[in-house]
Chain A
Amino acid sequence: MPRSVSGQIAMIVVVSVIIVVVVGRVGDMIRHSPLLGLNSFDTFYEQAAAIAPLMRQVAQDRQDDLASAFAGTGLDLRVVDPVEAERLAGTATAPSALRRIINWIFPPDDEPDGSRVFDTREGAMLLIPLNEASTLVAYGPPQPLVSNDVLGPLSYYVLAFATLLILFGLYSRWAFLAPLARISDEVKRSNGTEDERLVSEHGPPEVVALTDALNQMRGRVRDLLETRARMLRGVSHDLRTPLTRLRQRIERLDDEPVQQKMLSDVDQIDRLIEETLDYLRMDATGEELERVDVASLLQTIAADFADLGSAIRYEGPDHLAAMLKPNSMLRAVTNLCGNGLKFGTEVSIILSRNESSVRIDVVDDGPGIPANLRDRVLEPFFKADLSRSDGDRNQGFGLGLSIVAEIVAAHRGRLTLLDNEPSGLVARVEFPR
């Protein structure tokens, strides 16, 4: 079995030729067998066509005798004048529609001696002009629908065509379509950063090469993400050291109001670093999935918020085990709850599940997010309420929801923003169990 596509195609062509020759020969044998009845007309035609030239050698008045001499051999011959010949031609039955179609697709060869075949009620009638004064009329067995000279080449055409078609169809399925479908499945399923490679164990080298190329690209994407994250880590580290000094110096100031303002600036810078890092971290280095009791996770979040003085209600089962990345998921739901409290007053976390997935709804009673902005608020650094000026220290950076979306994607899940009734936002996190 050749390994390259061109080799395999060449092999298929060779195999097809062998099949065509063998099957074609078998077909010929069947066609020539007397059972099919194709032969009797052919024999009759050949005999009549062979006699005609002999007849032309014979004197005009002896032609009749010669014709009648064949009587009893199965060849019914007569010699008539051209006028009578045309009359006989007129009495022939009109060719059937089917015959006309076949004749149109495969035009009968023009006979050099001008012979014509007609169908009559008894069988076939052959008119072969001998000279200006006489025409040979031969009656024989009925003409078959398709003649051997059509059937022969035709069957080879069809056979070759069908063989190639079927073999190439099967081959391309096996060699290209199936592996390609598998690869595209894999690519769709993967989030581009996991270490597992695309499978490529079978298929021609060209397909294997494609998987390798995709694997390499995936590696480059991962490297890129890692470099980016590493760079950001470096920057954040180098930013935080002077920030620490700044903070310590500020703490030594005597002017309390100034001190407070400066400290909150430091906090804001620090939060920006933290959130940016968080956003970038989600894709590159990952926490492992583990079996976690989601209910306890959400209860913990609710309790932590409660201890900070904001009531958040948890509704759902007491226990529900699912595969997730606990720290990331904690972070995501905490972000959603924080947003809910920022824009609304009452927030609940509702946990439910079906056979295949877990759903966490974080519901608030704030203004909600207009439908046309719902896609955009998931973009990093997008803030919907631009009315609030930059001077507002409580304003976020527009990273919160982007971080949530990244985390949910890392769980192969989905984050949807919906309307709450009568007002407010439902942030829905769904991921497979």
Chain B
Amino acid sequence: MSSDLPASPRILIVEDDPEIGPMLRDALAAGGMTAELATDGRDMDERLRGSAFDLVVLDVMLPGEDGLSLCRRLRAGSNVPILMLTALAEEIDRIIGIEIGADDYITKPFSTREVLARIRGLLRRASYSKVGTERVRPLRFDGWRIDPLRRQLHDPQHTRISLTAAEFDLLLAFCRNPGKILTREELLTLTHAGLAGPVERSIDVHVSRLRQKIEADPREPTLLKTVRLGGYMFAANVEPA
């Protein structure tokens, strides 16, 4: 899997705390990444001008221009994946919402292992999907609406359907590849569903849970079809919403 990632991804950390920043930088370096540290927005702009980065780790609370505004600005001009660091769980909705547009977040106090895992996940996602606004645009199929940014799914009656993270990733992967046969291995990498928890679930379990929620009759699926020996195929017509 790591073959999909840049050999030594370049990460820009924007964090003003004199200890957290350097320690995080060292930890990323130890994890095989090239990390640079900026302590505020101006510093960040300078470094971004100087060279290209594969990902930006951005603290929400910064002196001067705060992280949310930096993120919004960054998002307007580039597609670089952004991981936000926040001390407040309640900011999360805004952070990954349309308004701010970060790709992922992690709450303080975080563990180094967690940060590394999130960064790798984001890099992998970026390398798979066509990076761009297309990646986050809501999609529509068969009256349903899926919003990748807010991670929300609505049925044709505008009722929100709740999904687990793995189910959502799975459905999104299907929506981005309608009419194509996706093997279990492909789905596993697309959704990193296998990494979900201590209990390994096969793709089949997630698919059957997903069918429970979106198929009129889960035993006679019309959207999520099983292809014998192959895998699964999404039979709906998907268009931008």
State the A residues within 8 Å of B (CB).
233, 236-237, 240-241, 243-249, 251-252, 263, 266, 270, 274, 277-278, 281, 285, 290-293, 296-297, 299-300, 303-304, 306-309, 318-319, 321, 326-327, 330
Contact = CB atoms under 8 A, between A and B. Distances in A.
B155 interface: yes
Contacts of B89: 274, 277-278
B69 interface: no
Given A241-B61, A307-B199, A330-B162, 6 more contacts: A241-B20, A245-B23, A247-B109, A248-B24, A251-B112, A308-B197
B128 interface: no
B201 interface: yes
B160 interface: yes
Contact of B161 (A240, A243, A278, A293): A293
A246 B109 contact: yes
A293 B155 contact: yes
Contacts of B159: 291-293, 319, 321
B19 interface: yes
A273 to B, nearest CB: 9
A347 to B, nearest CB: 16
Interface centre among A251, A278, A300 (most CB of B within 10 A): A300
Interface in B152-191: 155, 157-164, 166-167
Contacts of B157: 291, 321
Nearest to A263: B111
A270 B158 CA distance: 37
Nearest to A274: B89
Nearest to A278: B89
A308 B199 contact: yes
B113 to A, nearest CB: 8
B19 A307 contact: no
A16 to B, nearest CB: 59
A131 B89 CA distance: 111
Given A266-B109, A274-B89, A293-B160, A248 B199 contact: no
A252 to B, nearest CB: 8
A245 B108 CA distance: 10
B27 interface: yes
Contacts of A251: 27, 111-112
Main secondary structure on A side of the interface with B? helix
A306 B199 contact: yes
Interface centre among B158, B161, B197 (most CB of A within 10 A): B161
Given A245-B19, A248-B19, A307-B196, A281 B90 contact: yes
Contacts of A303: 164, 167, 209
B118 to A, nearest CB: 15
B204 interface: no
A425 B115 CA distance: 39
B90 A245 contact: no
Interface in B104-134: 108-112
Contacts of A278: 89
Given A251-B112, A285-B90, A299-B213, A308 B27 contact: no
Given A237-B87, A318-B212, A243 B162 contact: no
B88 interface: yes
B17 A296 contact: no
A319 B217 CA distance: 12
Nearest to A285: B90
A319 B218 CA distance: 12
B160 A241 contact: no
A194 B234 CA distance: 43
Contacts of B109: 240, 243-244, 246-247, 266, 270
B201 A237 contact: no
A35 B158 CA distance: 79
Contact of A241 (B108, B111, B196): B108
A305 to B, nearest CB: 10
Contacts of A330: 162
Interface string B187-231: 000000000111101000000010011000000000000000000
Contact of B162 (A241, A293, A307): A293
Contacts of B158: 291
Contacts of A319: 159
A346 to B, nearest CB: 17
A51 B209 CA distance: 115
A246 B213 CA distance: 43
A244 B108 contact: yes
Contact of B87 (A241, A263, A326): A241
Nearest to B157: A321
3 nearest A-B pairs in the assembled complex, by CB-CB distance = A307-B197, A244-B109, A240-B87
A263 to B, nearest CB: 8
Contacts of B161: 292-293, 296
A297 B162 contact: yes
